[in-house]
Amino acid sequence: MKVGAVVITMGNRPEELRALLDSVAKQDGDPVEVVVVGNGSPVPEVPEGVRTIELPENLGIPGGRNVGIEAFGPGGSDVDILLFLDDDGLLARTDTAELCRRAFAEDDRLGIISFRIADPDTGLTQRRHVPRLRASDPMRSSRVTTFLGGANAVRTKVFAEVGGLPDAFFYAHEETDLAWRALDAGWMIDYRSDMVLYHPTTAPSRHAVYHRMVARNRVWLARRNLPAVLVPVYLGVWLLLTLARRPSRPALRAWFGGFREGWTTACGPRRPMKWRTVWRLTRLGRPPVI
């Protein structure tokens, strides 16, 4: 199976980007073809053979990754598997691409693999990086209902069937939107603890737009994908969870602004998932109300 990789960068981490590309080049088996997308910025110097695309403006995470997908042909069709890797990450092992090939070859309904993210110094994995509710044991691999955006592998047939990431989201929840559409089409998603991306421990709230985007895109996610009766339930649960976490007053103000924006702006095409998909999500441990 042919493997490609998409990396988006703002051009501000040249050393980390080079280390990531070196780790991709060291993968066992056939070489992994790499495309680096400069998201509104020049691409730093990269090794020979790595393709680059420089966008005139920042299209956001999903927009930048979609450009990278199309660099491999329509829907990424020139390859069988695409890796999506953060530019400040590092593949911990040389067999990750081979493990992906094997996993997809052995399970023809497997559409997406979420890697384990670990701090390079401590080896620890943050709870938020385990894409399931029972996140206390990051070393346990399992079927899951979403995946990590900067550390994953996608069978390109998924894009051909359900489309790419939602450009308008810009940042936050674009992975879950794709995951729900893939699950609704009959694909499965695995979290694999043996496929590791080293990444420094960070907090998502470091991004200035975090609280607004998280709230807005949560509403868009529900409006686009959930049966109508579940939309208020899902958003009501997340409203209560947000209040329970006691964010600062400025953060809460930004969150409510984004929540309102999610209801008053266009969210893209609405394709509510089938009720059997709701049941599948529930059986996998994460019903689409939380």
Same structural domain, 120 and 233: no
- pLDDT for residue 182: 98
Mean predicted confidence (pLDDT) in 107-128: 96
Q: How many domains does the chain have?
A: 2
pLDDT of residue 205: 56
Q: Are residues 138 and 232 in the same domain?
A: no
Same domain as 253, residue 119:
no
Q: Are residues 193 and 214 in the same domain?
A: no
> Residues 237-246: what's their mean pLDDT?
95
Say how far apart CA 146 and CA 177 lie, in whole Å: 9
- Reported pTM: 0.96
118 pLDDT exceeds 60? yes
pLDDT of residue 202: 79
Domain membership of residue 271 as a residue range: 208-284
Residues 23-39 as b/e (b if ≥16 CB within 10 A, e otherwise) read bbeebeeeebbbbbbbb
We report the CATH number of the domain holding residue 74 as: 3.90.550.10
* pLDDT of 140 above 80: yes
* Residue 290, in any domain of the structure: no
For residue 13, being part of any structural domain is answered with: yes
Q: Which of 142, 174, 198 corresponds to the end of one domain?
A: 198
Domain stops at, among 141, 164, 198: 198
pLDDT at 107 over 90: yes
- Domain's final residue, options 159, 176, 198: 198
Task: Answer yes or no: do 73 and 136 share one domain.
Answer: yes
Residue 30 lies inside a defined structural domain of this protein = yes
**Are 255 and 190 contained in the same domain?**
no
In a shared domain, residues 184 and 73 = yes
Q: What is the mean pLDDT of residues 233-260?
A: 95
Whether residues 170 and 219 share a domain: the answer is no
pLDDT (average), residues 229-249? 96
Residue 280 confidence (pLDDT) above 70: yes
Q: Are residues 174 and 60 in the same domain?
A: yes
pLDDT in tens, 189-200: 999 999 999 999
**Residue 203 resides in a domain:** no
160 and 231 belong to one structural domain: no
Confidence band (pLDDT; 50, 70, 90) for 263?
Answer: very high
Say what the pLDDT of residue 285 is. 93
Instruction: Please check whether residue 289 lies inside any domain of the structure.
Output: no
Phi, psi for 2 (deg, rounded to 5): -80, 135
Query: What value does the mean pLDDT take over residues 141-156?
Result: 98
Check residues 205 and 93 and name the one with the higher pLDDT.
93
